[in-house]
Amino acid sequence: MADVKNYGPKRLVVGAHYGTVDFIAQRITAIILAVYTLVLIIGLLVMPSFTYENWKSLFNFHVYALPVGQLLATLAFFALAWHAWIGVRDIWMDYVRNVGVRLLLQVLTILWLVGSVVYFAQILWRI
């Protein structure tokens, strides 16, 4: 009987992602969300009064013809959706053993996240 090593460069690795890409993606999305949170907090602190028009201008400011407020909010929301997908997908993969139930939960998660992104885009890009 052969001696099987489960460590080192000849170990048997199974799975689709091996974790590194997801690890880096979650860190990058977390940085994007942290920076956007700081931008929002600074915007709220310099806001003269908390009115609907001032709140709207926080997301609707332009630099030249570029809608910077909407682009930053969209980037942050996509980062949030991607961050949530990685985290929830890993929870389903780690704790749901039945493959059919796991697939169903992953599909429902994707549908929910895509629906949230579409709803967000409808609201943000109408203002």
62 is in an annotated binding site: no
DSSP state of 12: -
In the chain, the amino acid numbered 8 is G
* Longest pairwise C-alpha distance within the chain: 77
Q: With b meaning 16 or more CB within 10 Å and e meaning fewer, what string describes 107-126? A: eebeeebeeebeebeeebee
7 is in an annotated binding site: no
Q: Residue ranges for the binding site for a ubiquinone?
A: 95
Q: Residue ranges for the binding site?
A: 83, 95
Q: Residue ranges for the binding site for heme?
A: 83
